[in-house]
């Protein structure tokens, strides 16, 4: 199943710079792992916001949830997920 995932990072502004960088590095590493596993297909940033839009593939919503919760920034992410279904015109 494919999912469109919109997330906005709500990491508190008073987070110490060193901790912020540790989280960013961990996020990049985990995203690379998810990409290699075929879970994270595409990722876009949203200009002007600390937000992303991603195309994910998972067997079911539970597997997607586990993948998203494995991200180091998960506690601070405001996440909205939409399950996607193939449009009839795309089947041809």
pTM assigned to the model? 0.90
Half-sphere exposure of 81 (CA within 13 A, CB side): 16
Q: What is the CA radius of gyration of the chain?
A: 14
Measured CA distances, 1 to 61, 64, 91 (Å):
8, 9, 15
Rounded percentage of the chain residues whose pLDDT exceeds 70: 99
Average pLDDT of the chain? 96
pLDDT band at 92 (very low <50, low <70, confident <90, very high): low
* CATH of the domain spanning 2-84: 3.30.70.1060
């Amino acid at each position: 199943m494919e999912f469109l995932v919109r997330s906005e990072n709500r990491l508190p502004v008073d987070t110490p710079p060193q901790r912020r960088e540790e989280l960013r590095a961990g996020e990049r590493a985990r995203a690379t792992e998810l990409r290699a596993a075929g879970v994270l297909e595409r990722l876009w940033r949203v200009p002007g916001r600390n937000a992303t839009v991603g195309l994910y593939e998972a067997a079911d919503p539970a597997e997607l949830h586990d993948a998203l919760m494995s991200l180091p920034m998960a506690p601070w992410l405001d996440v909205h997920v939409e399950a996607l279904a193939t449009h009839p015109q795309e089947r041809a």
